[in-house]
Amino acid sequence: MCGWGRACVRPAAGSTSRTVASTSICSCASAWSVASVRTPATTRPRRSSPMTTIHRALPTGLAPADPDELLRLTLLLAHDERLPELLDLTSPERSWTRLEATDLMEVWLIGWPPGTGTGWHDHQGSSGAFRVVHGALTEHTWDRGARTRDLARGEGRSFAASHVHDVRNEGATAAVSVHAYAPALRGMTRYAVAGGALVRQQVERAGQW
């Protein structure tokens, strides 16, 4: 519990699990440190943390279902060269960590080994955006048939709450991407392609990944 009366969770040291533990870093502490701590003249200035970037990007709060604001946030975060260090890019499977979560929004960082993907899914009423931080990704969407869009490093896309897609790393090297959703994800509906159409399969609730 931090000095502001909020629960603060820190990642467990030495964790080797495939899925990186979800971590919500105390936003009040981040905001307080930026506002009230001065750097001595003889000390090298600290670089802003990813969480400080989030709060600077959205100083007045994020309006739910605003894909343009989410895309802007991913652009600011993508400039942080330290993001890949938060993931195990040597794993043969995807890894992820949650950078921030509130009732209005949440931000995830995902690592993609070559050949991995999400499968077809929606976001249960949340709008979103994602941007490639390292490597390249391919987004598959459905419009009376499959459509593809290649996204290189630095490129991103936003989408409305009804969006269904399948994101894959079809390259030969690992990729990293940052994802933002508003409101926070409640779950995802899984789909399969059958008979020339997307067919609903199952629903995964938040906390199952």
CA 91 from chain centre, in angstroms, equals 18
**In the sheet where 146-151 sits, what is the strand order?**
146-151, 137-142, 165-168
In-domain check, residue 40:
no
Please provide the average confidence, as pLDDT, over all residues in the chain.
77
The CATH number that applies at residue 112 is: 2.60.120.10
Q: What is the pTM assigned to this prediction?
A: 0.71
d(CA 56, CA 89): 28
In-domain check, residue 4:
no
pLDDT at 148 over 70: yes
Strands (E) across the chain are located at 95-101, 106-112, 127-134, 137-142, 146-151, 156-159, 165-168, 175-182, 187-194, 197-205
Q: Count structural domains, the chain.
A: 1
First to last CA, the chain: 25
Query: What's the DSSP call for residue 48?
Result: P
In-domain check, residue 27:
no
Higher pLDDT among residues 50 and 17, named by residue = 50
pLDDT tens across 87-106, in order? 999 999 999 999 988 878 89
In-domain check, residue 52:
yes
pLDDT at 69 over 80: yes
pLDDT tens across 154-198, in order? 999 999 999 999 999 999 999 999 999 999 999 999 999 999 999
In-domain check, residue 156:
yes
pLDDT at 112 over 50: yes
In-domain check, residue 35:
no
pLDDT at 51: 55
pLDDT at 18 over 60: no
In-domain check, residue 61:
yes
Domain that holds residue 153: 48-202
In-domain check, residue 172:
yes
